[in-house]
Amino acid sequence: MMDARDPTLTLSPHLHLNLLPPPLHVRKKTRKTTFYRRILRKSSQRSCYDSLAFGPLDDIISEISGDIWRSPAEQRLEPSCVPLNWSNPLKAPSTCTVTPLPVSRIPSDQPLTVRKNRHSRSTASGSSADRTMVSFSRDSSCTQSTTGSAQSTSGGMHSTTQWPLQGRVSNNNSSPDSDNRWSSRMDALRKSLKRLGRSDTVDSSGSNTASSTVPARLPRADTADSTGSAGAGSTEASNERMDGERADHTARKSVVATSALLTRAPSPAEYRQEEIDKEQARQKDPSKISVLKAAIKITPEENMLKSVVEQDFWAAVEITGTLHNRQELPDATIDVAIIIDNSFYVTKECHRQALAVVTSVLQYLNRGDRVAVFATHCNHYGLVTGTDPEILYPLSDITQETQKTVQELINDIQDSGVQAWNPPRPNPTMFEVVLAVAKSLECSRSRADRTHVIVLSPIMNVLHGISATFPHLYVHQYNPSVLPYCYNGLPQNQMCTDACCSNLFAYNYLYHKNPAGTMRQIIRNARSEKPGGSIENMHVDIKPRRGCEVLDYEGSRDLPYLRLGQTYTFFVRLRVSPSATEEVLLDSKDPILNSSLNATFMRQNLRSIKAAGGSMAHLLAVQLLHQSVLSSYETWSFTESQLLVFKDQGRMTTPSNTSVDYFKRRLFYEFSKMGNKKAKEEIEKIAVSEVNHPDVKKLIRNISTEIARQELIIDYEINVRKNMAPLLGPVGVNPVHQWRLDSREEINRERRRRELAAE
Residue 344 has pLDDT above 80, yes or no: yes
DSSP string, 159-200: HHHH-HHHHHHHHHT--HHHHHHHHHHHHHHHHHHGGG--TT
230 CB-near residues (< 8 Å, 6+ apart): 757
Q: What is the mean pLDDT of residues 384-413?
A: 82
CA dihedral 305→310→312→318, nearest 10 degrees, is 50
Judged by phi (left if over 0) then psi (alpha if -120 to 50, else beta), residue 707 lies in alpha
Judged by phi (left if over 0) then psi (alpha if -120 to 50, else beta), residue 601 lies in left
Tell me, what's the pLDDT at 618?
94
Q: How far apart are CA 696 and CA 716, in angstroms?
A: 31
Contact 255, 263 (CB under 8 A): no
Q: What is the mean pLDDT of residues 59-71?
A: 53
Tell me, what's the pLDDT at 523?
94
Of 46, 35, 11, 658, residue with least CA distance to 297: 658
Q: What is the mean pLDDT of residues 278-296?
A: 76
Tell me, what's the pLDDT at 142?
40
Question: Which secondary-structure segment (H or E) carries 315?
Answer: strand 311-324
Contact 340, 376 (CB under 8 A): yes
Of 187, 140, 129, residue with least CA distance to 22: 140
- Higher per-residue confidence, 104 vs 400: 400
- Share the mean pLDDT of the chain: 72
* 384 secondary structure, DSSP code: P
Tell me, what's the pLDDT at 690?
63
Q: How far apart are CA 185 and CA 187, in angstroms?
A: 5
Of 122-126, 668-672, 691-695, minimum mean pLDDT range = 122-126
Q: How far apart are CA 744 and CA 98, in angstroms?
A: 47
DSSP string, 202-224: ---S--SSPPPPPPPPPPPPPHH
pLDDT digits (tens, 9 = 90+) for 185-239: 555 544 544 444 333 333 333 444 433 343 333 333 333 333 333 344 444 444 5
DSSP string, 705-726: HHHHHHHHHHHHHHHTSTTPPP
Tell me, what's the pLDDT at 172?
41
Residue 102 has pLDDT above 60, yes or no: no
Q: How far apart are CA 401 and CA 510, in angstroms?
A: 37
**E runs forming strands in 385-527:** 390-397, 451-456, 473-478, 504-507
The β-bridge relationship of strands 473-478 and 451-456 is parallel
Of 218, 252, 262, 724, residue with least CA distance to 456: 262
Position 748 confidence tier, pLDDT thresholds 50, 70, 90: low
Of 526, 599, 540, 594, residue with least CA distance to 570: 540
Contact 662, 683 (CB under 8 A): no
Residue 298 has pLDDT above 50, yes or no: yes
266: cis peptide before it, omega within 30°?
Answer: no
Chain-centre distance for alpha carbon 597: 33
Q: How far apart are CA 106 and CA 746, in angstroms?
A: 57
Tell me, what's the pLDDT at 657?
83
Residue 662 has pLDDT above 90, yes or no: yes
- Higher per-residue confidence, 373 vs 630: 373
- Domain ranges within the chain, ordered by starting residue: 290-322+534-563+570-656, 674-728
Tell me, what's the pLDDT at 524?
92
Q: What is the mean pLDDT of residues 277-288?
A: 66
Tell me, what's the pLDDT at 96?
45
Helix, strand, coil share (%) of the chain residues, nearest 5: 40, 15, 45
Q: Half-sphere exposure of residue 72, counting CA atoms within 13 Å on the CB side?
A: 26
32 CB-contact burial (10 Å; exposed 0-12 / middle 13-18 / buried 19+): middle
Of 164-178, 318-332, 578-592, 680-694, minimum mean pLDDT range = 164-178
Tell me, what's the pLDDT at 310?
93
Residue 754 has pLDDT above 60, yes or no: yes
Contact 23, 162 (CB under 8 A): yes
- Higher per-residue confidence, 129 vs 325: 325
Give the Å distances, CA to CA, from 171 to 17, 95, 165, 670.
Answer: 17, 19, 10, 81
Mean pLDDT is highest, among 44-53, 147-156, 451-460, 654-663, for 451-460
Q: How far apart are CA 296 and CA 478, in angstroms?
A: 22
Chain-centre distance for alpha carbon 208: 21
Contact 538, 624 (CB under 8 A): yes
The β-bridge relationship of strands 335-340 and 311-324 is unpaired
Contact 534, 629 (CB under 8 A): yes
Q: Name beta bridge partners: 454.
A: 338, 476
Q: How far apart are CA 437 and CA 443, in angstroms?
A: 10
- Please name the residue ranges forming H helices in 198-304: 223-227, 235-262, 268-282
Return the CATH number of the domain spanning residue range 290-322+534-563+570-656: 2.60.40
Residue 38 has pLDDT above 50, yes or no: no
Contact 645, 615 (CB under 8 A): no
Identity of the residue numbered 320: T
Q: How far apart are CA 439 and CA 290, in angstroms?
A: 31
| Cβ neighbours of 263 (radius 10 Å) | 18
Tell me, what's the pLDDT at 226?
36
Residue 743 has pLDDT above 80, yes or no: no
Q: How far apart are CA 668 and CA 679, in angstroms?
A: 11
pLDDT digits (tens, 9 = 90+) for 139-179: 443 444 444 444 444 444 443 333 333 333 334 444 444 44
Q: How far apart are CA 508 and CA 512, in angstroms?
A: 5
Tell me, what's the pLDDT at 421?
87
Contact 141, 80 (CB under 8 A): no
Tell me, what's the pLDDT at 300?
94
Q: What is the mean pLDDT of residues 634-652?
A: 90
Question: Which secondary-structure segment (H or E) carries 578?
Answer: none
